[in-house]
Every structure is written in C-alpha cells, then in structure tokens.
Amino acid sequence: MKLVLAPMEGLVDEAMRDVLTRVGGIDLCVTEFVRVTSALLPTRTFMRLAPELARGGKTRAGVTVRVQLLGSDPACLAENAAKAASLGAPGIDLNFGCPAPTVNRHRGGAILLNDPEQLFQIVQAVRAAVPAEIPVTAKMRLGYEDKSRALECARALEAGGAQELAVHGRTKVEGYRPPAHWDWIARIRESVAVPVVANGEVWTLDDYRAIREQSGCDTVMIGRGLVACPDLALRIKRQDGAEPMPWNEMQPWVLDLFLQCRVQSEDGRYPVARTKQWLGQLKRSWPEAGALFERIRRLTTPDEVEPVLRDMLSK
C-alpha cells in the first residue's frame, strides 16, 4: 500500500508538499509540471518548481519528489529530463493528463492522448536520455473527448519505457466532474505489465477502499482530497474511521503554509492568496476554515492577515 500526493498546478507547490508530507502518511510526491517547449531550461526554472532538488529530491519530511515535465517535443523533453536528472531528480514523470485549455492548445497534457504514437516517441526519447537507475513514469487520463483509445495510450506509454502509469479516471472533457471511472483504471491495469497508480475522486477512507477494490491497484494517488483534509493519508494508513483531526490541531498548519509562502515570495499578495485558496479547500472538512476565510476575505496584505492567523491560535 502506497499513497502518492498528486501534482496539481497552482495548488500543490513546494510549501503545500512540505506541509502535507510533515502531517504524514504520504509516500511519494510529484511536482507541478515543468513546461518544456523548444529550449533547454535554465537551472533556476527547475529549482523554482522543484526546490527539493537542493535537498536530494526530498521534502523536509524525507519524502521523495519526482520532477514532472510537460510538452510534446520528444528531443526537447529528453534534453530537459537529462538536465533534471543531473540536478538530482530522483524520478522523471511525464504529464499526459493536464486538462487546461491553454496547455492543450499548445499540444501539451491531455491533448496528446489523441496521438498514441507521439506518446510512445516522447517516453522512448526521455527513457533513453535518463540514467537507467532513475525511474521514468507517466500520468494520463482516460482520453481527451472519450475513452476509446485509453488502452492503446497506456500500451504506448509502456512500450516507450514508462515504468509506472498513474491513471486519472476521467477524460479531459469530463474534467473533475464526478464520477471517476475506477473500472476503466482496472481495464488499463489489466492491459499493461507495469504498475498502475489509481487516481481520481478520493476524498474519504471509504473512497480509498472503493478505488482499491474497483481498480485493483495497490498504489493510490490523491490530490484535492489531501489538500482538503491533510490527515487523510494518515487515517488511510491506520485504516480507521476516525474523523479528521480537530480544527485546533489543523490551525498551526494554516499558519505554517502562510509563513512559508511569505518567505518564498516578494509579492505580498501571494501568501494571502494562497492562504485564502487553501481555506476554501479546507472548509470541506472543517466549517471553521470557512469562518476564518470570511475573517480574512477582504484583507489584502500579509501584515493584515498574519495577526488574524496568530490570534486564531491563541484561542
């Protein structure tokens, strides 16, 4: 049984990975995607999106962080994968699932699921460019508009050399609308020999048990469910039906994320926006998060928000 924190652009950044892995229960992380177009990216780009490279590719809690690349040019992706490996990336993941229209218009992410041969060419080039001891993995959806080529895409990724496939159980067009089709993940698992990681619509312990049963996968990737309930991974590992941690135990983590974002960015709006964003997710598990969001909703500067967060802890 292994739990993976899903990559989510604009949500699961270094600060969020740090907080969630210190809460516990997570075995592996994947970065937000590093967008590759037509050039070898500078070191600073990799370090900005994967600062964990400076710590041996691990979070402060010691959890491994793979670097995810997104693009469509096999040679350019291969060159950048080799660069990431040289910087210490413990694994390279390839994004074939991003549903963002801007990304898809530029032939990145889920749009490539319409072209299994291109998937094969990309993975093959990246696998050849990366040292054998560094795993190359891929994340896919079930398709772009429909699921008709899901198995073909999975087999193309495997044939190219992907050593593991994470499968989000929806098409691009389905976005994040429930349900996720866990039975299709099972079909993909049965069609390839490499390990398959099940992903999509896991919010509770019951969801986790259901995705395991329906997909047949031993490893599960969780994104929004962990952001909305940071101790979900711990409760899954314990296999108990306990409620989420009390709000008073969650509060210090909110301040922790805010302070990290404040240090990491010179833009004073950033830590405020990130904190509001997270509270919007947390209110799914704690009504108190919604009340705190209302207290800071009209505040715009870190100097205004920090006293409110610290006052919250004193009560």
pLDDT of residue 278: 98
Radius of gyration over alpha carbons of the chain, in Å?
Answer: 19
Question: What pLDDT does residue 131 have?
Answer: 98
Question: In 175-300, at which residue ranges do the beta strands (DSSP E only) sit?
Answer: 196-199, 219-222
Predicted local distance difference test score (pLDDT) of residue 242? 78
Identify the residue whose tokens are 């460019």.
Answer: 129
The whole-number pLDDT of residue 101 equals 79
Q: Which of 98, 217, 229, 261 is catalytic?
A: 98
Residue 151: what pLDDT? 98
**Which tokens sit at 88?**
């210490």
C-alpha span between 67 and 31 (Å, rounded):
5
At 78, which amino acid appears?
A
Exposure string (b/e) for 203-241, b if CB count within 10 Å is 16 or more? bbbebbeebbebbbbebbbbbbbbbbbbbbbbbbeeeee
pLDDT of residue 21: 98
pTM score, whole prediction: 0.96
pLDDT reported for residue 295: 96
Look-up: residue for tokens 């995810």? Answer: 68
Query: Annotated binding residue at 199?
Result: yes
Task: Say what the pLDDT of residue 5 is.
Answer: 98
261 counts as catalytic: no
Helical axes 287-296 vs 247-264, angle rounded to 10°: 40
Could you say which residues of the chain have pLDDT below 50? none
Q: Which pLDDT belongs to residue 17?
A: 98
Q: Is 172 annotated to bind ligand?
A: no
Q: What is the pLDDT of residues 228-270, one digit of tens each?
A: 999 999 999 998 777 899 999 999 999 999 999 999 888 889 9
Strand partners, 69: 34, 94
Q: Would you say 160 is a known binding-site residue?
A: no
